[in-house]
Amino acid sequence: MHREDAPPVSGWIYFPHPDTKPTHFQTPDVLELLLPWTEGLGYGTRIRLDVPAEQMSFRSE
C-alpha cells in the first residue's frame, strides 16, 4: 500500500466473500486491508495498491 506522503506498507488484502457472511451484509465490492497500524491512514485517504497479477486482478464496470 502506497500513499503520496509516506513509505510503502506491506500487508494482506482480504475479500470477505458475501456467501461466507450471510448475516453480515457488505456490498460485494468491499476489500479489507490487513496492515500494521499506519499513522494518518483513515477513511477517504487516497492509496495505491501494488498486487502481483497472478494473485488478484481488478476491473471497473
Distances (CA, A) of 9 to 32, 42, 45, 55: 15, 14, 14, 18
Asked if residues 11 and 36 have their Cβ atoms less than 8 Å apart, the reply is: yes
pTM: 0.69
Three-state SS for 20?
A: helix
Cell of 1: 500500500
Give residue-wise pLDDT tens across range 27-61. 777 888 999 999 888 888 899 988 888 988 877 76
According to DSSP, the residues that pair with 13 across neighbouring strands are: 33
- Neighbouring C-beta atoms of residue 47, cutoff 10 Å: 14
Domain limits, the chain: 1-61
